[in-house]
Chain A
Amino acid sequence: MEGGVSYARMPRVKIRELKDDYAKFELRDTDASIANALRRVMIAEVPTVAIDLVEIEVNSSVLNDEFIAHRLGLIPLTSERAMSMRFSRDCDACDGDGQCEFCSVEFHLRVKCMTDQTLDVTSKDLYSSDPTVSPVDFSDPSATDSDNNRGIIIVKLRRGQELKLRAIARKGIGKDHAKWSPAATVTFMYEPEIHINEDLMETLTLEEKREWVDSSPTRVFEIDPVTQQVMVVDAEAYTYDDEVLKKAEAMGKPGLVEIIARQDSFIFTVESTGAVKASQLVLNAIEILKQKLDAVRLSEDTVEADDQFGELGAHMRGG
């Protein structure tokens, strides 16, 4: 567009761990603003589906209607389809009513306790009109006992008590309400770069080395039993608490170790609620960020405004 000059970077990614609800990866060759934008978008702007309207027909349980409605809203629902769904307020099929198939999913719950045993009403008792949007399954596939039916408990019913309701789930983002946030937590840390001053370290006795190594609340350093040298065993365990620096200063050895947070390397930890897979959450966040950038592009009529000075404008720009 502007004739080829580009200041875009080429970030690198390396995945360390990847599970359905957890991802850990390294992000390099970019800066903190991109990492933080990704983190913010993952937490508050990636859309998911959550129950937003509850019509209760019968509720003879001990909890009141509002309490049950709130608990229903917090149940994570599988939201693979959320990116392509419509927001209720923008939907033209139902004229903003928010109950058509394009912008909502209907759920039903009908449970009555007929035995003397207390009945647990769980998220598994919610029936969805759309099989792609259903309560997240927290069962452990490897377990075989009957306690493995681990739906989220909504309410407990005694004999004769009944719960009957209809619920509407809609697309939303975490910025509106936390129930729509797909992330349990997303964090990133700067990768630490640790340099030990070997000359200063050699002036310490073995006992002093042991004392200094133990001053770190997390296990970052260790003494090699063979060579008696202090070495870094896990740089990432460092929590930027400066304890080892203070200890070195107290021992009269400032500069014993130098610890720098690298400004272009980040270690991300993404934990999903289960609504979206952790890997998909990252991809959705990148997509949403691109959409936001498209939204803030200058529109055509704004560009024309800059030409109001005509040749004078060109002269002012030195072209």
Chain B
Amino acid sequence: MNAPDRYERFVVPEGTKKVSYERDTKIINAASFTIEREEHTIGNILRMQLHRDPNVLFAGYKLPHPLQYKIIVRIHTTSQSSPMQAYNQSINDLDRELDHLKSAFEAEMLKFSRDY
């Protein structure tokens, strides 16, 4: 009756941007990214990848409320970098890693079916 539609959890509503950026007004090189309609799947890999960047001083994410279908990723970097740069870098690195994983799995599939 008054339950929200299930697709609201993963369809970005019209007029809303998937990712928005908000600079921290108190700390230099700190910012928050709000990602709509995502949860721990993306948040966790993004955070862990950001931790591997030596220019990142702080990286964390949170789901503000279970009925607000978004995550807020907070990034604080050194002066050698910027939150936007670190964010883009982490996504590119994750993309590269997944490309490699896909190739490795496909190669292993071929090898396995040949040995069988």
Contacts and interface: CB of A to CB of B under 8 A. Distances in A.
A190 B108 CA distance: 21
Contact of B28 (A8, A294, A299, A316): A316
Interface string B97-116: 11111101110110111001
Contacts, number: 145
Given A11-B104, A13-B108, A15-B108, A33 B45 contact: yes
B42 A283 contact: no
Contacts of B63: none
Interface string B75-116: 000011110110111111111111111101110110111001
Contacts of A303: 84
A2 B7 contact: no
B72 interface: no
B58 interface: no
A4 to B, nearest CB: 11
A37 B45 contact: yes
- Bin chain B's interface residue count: 35 or more
Contact of A289 (B19, B84, B98): B98
A36 B80 CA distance: 32
Nearest to B111: A15
A69 interface: no
A303 B46 CA distance: 18
B10 A175 contact: yes
Contacts of B23: 306
B52 A286 contact: no
Given A18-B113, A302-B21, A316-B28, 20 more contacts: A10-B100, A11-B97, A33-B47, A33-B49, A37-B41, A37-B42, A40-B40, A175-B9, A283-B105, A286-B101, A286-B105, A287-B102, A292-B42, A294-B95, A295-B18, A296-B18, A296-B19, A298-B19, A302-B20, A305-B21
Interface of B: 6-7, 9-11, 17-21, 23, 28-29, 35, 38, 40-42, 44-49, 52-53, 79-82, 84-85, 87-102, 104-106, 108-109, 111-113, 116
